[in-house]
Structures are given as C-alpha cells and as structure tokens.
Chain A
Amino acid sequence: AQKVTQAQTEISVVEKEDVTLDCVYETRDTTYYLFWYKQPPSGELVFLIRRNSFDEQNEISGRYSWNFQKSTSSFNFTITASQVVDSAVYFCALSLTGNQFYFGTGTSLTVIP
C-alpha cells in the first residue's frame, strides 16, 4: 500500500504567486517522521525539513512554511511569493522507527517568470 501520496504531479505558477504542495501519508505507527526534499534540475535531493509525529507546530523558514495536521494525515508545504529558483521537483517522505523510509512520487513545480 502506498504510504505517501503526492497527488499533484505537476504545478505551474507565475512568479510571486503562493503555491501549496500537498502531502498525505498513511501509517498506523504513533512515532514517525516526515520530510520534504527539493530536487532542482541539477539532480541532487536537498533536505528541507524534518518533523516528528509529536510536534504539530507549523514551521516557517523564510518564504517556506509547513502545515502538519495529524487529523488529516497531511504535511503540506507552502511557498510564498514564489521565485524562478523554486522550480524543482519536491518530494515528501515518511520514515518509521522500524527503519522504513517511503518517498512520495514527487511534485514538479515550475515557476514562470
């Protein structure tokens, strides 16, 4: 069964628009971790954030913010005032303490100047 769903395959926005990337996960574990990675055209996945299941506080880092809601099993990622450099593929991932790691299929974001 798929553990992480990123329903948005591709998104295009015009520069300076806000955009939200959705991530829905599935697990019965009470302890787990959620990650977001960015894959720019260069290919390397870059770590953005990690959140554990006991910390539901939203987080803001510059133009990036993350909304973690256990009630809906979602960990959504919002980019405010998008820029061309934000164009990339973004992956959401779920890790379990049994050392299992699940990636979503990724969302390709294109920011049009």
Chain B
Amino acid sequence: DGGITQSPKYLFRKEGQNVTLSCEQNLNHDAMYWYRQDPGQGLRLIYYSQIVNDFQKGDIAEGYSVSREKKESFPLTVTSAQKNPTAFYLCASSIDGRTRYLYGYTFGSGTRLTVV
C-alpha cells in the first residue's frame, strides 16, 4: 500500500546536537512538506518542496534544514540553532504543489523529538 513512512517514531537528542528525521513516500507525489505540531498551536509549516532539488521555507524555517535529492525522500535536519526543538514532526505529501488546495495532504505518522 502507498503511503508515507517516517522514522524513527521517537527520537531523543542532547542539546547542541543536530538530528535528522526521515520521511519517505511511495505515492509518486511531487510535493512534500514538513510540519511541526505543538500543543494548542496546531500545525505550522517548516519547509516544503514541490520538485526534486528545490525547496522553500515555510513559516518557521529557522533552525531547520532539508534536502530533496530524490522524489521519494525529504529528510528534515533539526540543527542546534533551533531553540525549542521538542515537538511532534509530521511529514506530508500532495500530488503536486499546484493542486494542494484541491486535494489536501497525505500525512505520515510523525516523529516525536525530545531534547534531553
């Protein structure tokens, strides 16, 4: 079955360390997204990519970086510059960036990152 796989499910990081969250999709979707979820704040867009080797900052990109070397993969790196990284991170995809407003997203099951 097609879908989005995020790994790991839970991740612990020491302060000052970078960490990379994995996101893989086999839906043949062109566009991929990273959202951050905090209690009471809903979902906030970190980065998105509409095509391989191209990506754009979302609303809260500071302290994060991404790459899109393959259509199927969109890893997110949480750097030491991110001041409050503890959160739930959701990866999503859409058929393409232009029709996101029509069809919405397919989401992964998320990664819960905790800084210790």
Interface residues of A, count at CB 8 A: 25
Q: Which of A43, A44, A50, A97 contacts B104 (CB 8 A)?
A: A50
Is A57 at the interface (CB under 8 A from chain B)? no
A105/B40 in contact, CB under 8 A: yes
Is B107 at the interface (CB under 8 A from chain A)? yes
- In the complex, what's the smallest C-beta–C-beta distance from A33 to chain B, in angstroms? 6
Which A residues lie within 8 Å of B106 (CB)? 47
Is A30 at the interface (CB under 8 A from chain B)? no
Q: Is the interface of B mostly helix, strand, loop or mixed?
A: mixed
Is A69 at the interface (CB under 8 A from chain B)? no
Q: How far is B110's CA from A46's CA once the two chains are assembled, in angstroms?
A: 12
- In the complex, what's the smallest C-beta–C-beta distance from A28 to chain B, in angstroms? 15
- In the complex, what's the smallest C-beta–C-beta distance from B41 to chain A, in angstroms? 6
Those of A56-94 within 8 Å (CB) of chain B:
91, 93
Those of A84-113 within 8 Å (CB) of chain B:
91, 93, 95-101, 103-106
> 21 A-B Cβ contacts within 8 A?
A9-B40, A32-B101, A37-B107, A43-B88, A43-B109, A44-B110, A45-B90, A45-B92, A45-B107, A95-B100, A96-B101, A98-B101, A99-B98, A99-B101, A101-B100, A101-B104, A103-B42, A105-B40, A105-B41, A105-B42, A106-B42
